Amino acid sequence: MAALQPAATRPRSSLRQVIVASLIGTTIEWYDFFLYGTAAALVFGKLFFPGSDPLTGVLQAFLTYSLGFVARPIGGLVFGHFGDRIGRKRLLMASLVLMGVSSAAMGLLPTYAQIGVAAPVLLAALRFVQGFAVGGEWGGAVLMAGEFGDAKRRGTWAGWPQVGVPAGNLLAAGVMAVMAATLSEADFLGWGWRVAFLLSGVLVAVGWWVRSTLSESPLFEAAEARVAAAHEPAPALQALKHRPGGIAIGAGLKFGENISYYILTTFSIAYLADLHFKRQVGLNAVLIGSFVEMLTLPLFSALSDRIGRRAVYAFGAVGMAVWAFVFFGLLHSGGAALVIGAMVVGLILHGAMYGPQAAFISELFPTRYRYSGASIAYQVTSIFAGSLAPVIAVALLQRTHSTTAISIYVAAACAVSAIAALMARETKGLSFAEIDSRHGSGRSGGAPMDAHSPIL
């Protein structure tokens, strides 16, 4: 593959360009990824897994949904390796195309009634490709934003691609809500849901055009020559060897955030349908909640630059642990306004974790293997967290006929994230040069950066 063009021979993208491109691209990729979760709750159980009771059909749909999470760490490893070797930008472009093609193909899939067992098999295969693509998206997007920005406001800059998650969910829930509100049940199941997936092709074209205008991360370009000269081993192996503690802390940060998010935005839709709410109620709640999180998440990212990543993250994790017990009580209330309120508060608390997360995790690793290390910490956790959260929640509900066990499950997961946040060293305000210097020897030991935080 041709070497990257030297930075001096082409204009450098502005920080604003990078933020906008990262946000748009991330929104599109997460639109595709979340669209599957919404469809799994409302459509796929009926069309691809017929012949079982409704709750079991949803469970089977969520199992294929989980394949996307299994694929995410594989994508994170592959994209992280090449992102640390040949650049962030190229891998971001590749992930966008993979996601768009797989999502549009879902919109063209025949159902079980048309081709039998091949239908769910093809659905599962495409979901795997989705997961592989999104596994490479997160690391590249947040690193482009963080590495272009200054150290004092890195939480703010790296937090903007995180806004793509609620924005993507907002877009996915919005498109499905429009289809559900304007079509009959037969038309919605017959063709309406397909429109949302086919729309991905248009969105990906927009994302490709926006991202193609970007230049490469300046920190990557500065580190590229040093890495090539040193003939260093695979970046992922370096991260696993030299920063196992960073990976463990990053995984702990992700654990509760990931589980709580998918309980709120995916399982709750299926649960409300099981309570005989109109499908519009759950979709509207996610729609409004995602909109509010999209507005408040940047505030938490900026706050982490002022008072620290640890404090903001721990607040979100502890708040979510408590709210898990209130949330389902409000869902049982029978009122649409209370359901929406439950979702809004839950997603605001989620934003307190997710806003600082990009900077927090990326600051655990030096530039030469930051893409790989951050992707491993972020994506491997998804197998045990978001992947299984809706499945475990449905199984707990079937076994106990109560949501209390689900609340305990969410609270315990958030406790893990709170502990990880408090165990981590505070990294706000540190330049990546300081972080690289800190890890320059490749060892995870050394003098602490912060006397109040004994680990990492």
**DSSP state letters, 373-434:** HHHHHHHHHHHHTTTTHHHHHHHHHHHHSSSHHHHHHHHHHHHHHHHHHHHSPP-TT--HHH
**Contact predicate 394/91, CB 8 Å:** no
pLDDT level of residue 312 (50, 70, 90 thresholds): very high
pLDDT of 128 higher than 50: yes
Closest CA to 136 of 200, 201, 197, 71: 71
Helix (H, G, I), strand (E, B) or coil at 234: coil
d(CA 256, CA 323): 13
Q: Which two tokens stand for residue 85?
A: 């070797």
d(CA 269, CA 37): 10
pLDDT level of residue 2 (50, 70, 90 thresholds): very low
Residue 54 confidence (pLDDT): 59
**Contact predicate 228/220, CB 8 Å:** no
Residue 449 confidence (pLDDT): 39
Question: Per residue in 53-92, pLDDT tens?
Answer: 555 666 667 677 777 778 888 888 787 777 677 666 777 7
At residue 77, what is the residue type? L
> What percent of the chain stands above pLDDT 90?
25
**Contact predicate 120/46, CB 8 Å:** no
CA atoms within 13 A on the CB side of 82: 16
d(CA 243, CA 435): 13
**Contact predicate 143/88, CB 8 Å:** yes
d(CA 316, CA 257): 9
d(CA 19, CA 141): 9
Q: Which two tokens stand for residue 303?
A: 């706050």
Question: Per residue in 4-39, pLDDT tens?
Answer: 344 444 445 567 777 787 788 788 878 887 788 778
- Give the mean pLDDT of the chain: 80
Residue 261 confidence (pLDDT): 93
Output the pTM of the full model.
0.78
d(CA 258, CA 280): 24
At residue 312, what is the residue type? V
| Residues 6 or more apart in contact with residue 259 via CB below 8 angstroms | 385, 386, 389, 409, 410, 413, 414
pLDDT of 211 higher than 80: no
The percent helix, strand, coil of the chain (3-state, each to 5) is 80, 0, 20
Burial 20-59 (b: 16+ CB within 10 A, else e): ebbbbbbbbbbbbbbbbbbbbbbbbbebbbeeeeebebbb
Domains and CATH numbers, the chain: 16-212+234-438 (1.20.1250.20)
d(CA 134, CA 161): 13
d(CA 76, CA 140): 10
Top-confidence residue, 294 or 173: 294
Residue with tokens 């769910």: 120
Question: Per residue in 401-448, pLDDT tens?
Answer: 889 999 999 999 999 999 999 999 888 887 777 777 766 544 433 333
**Contact predicate 352/316, CB 8 Å:** yes
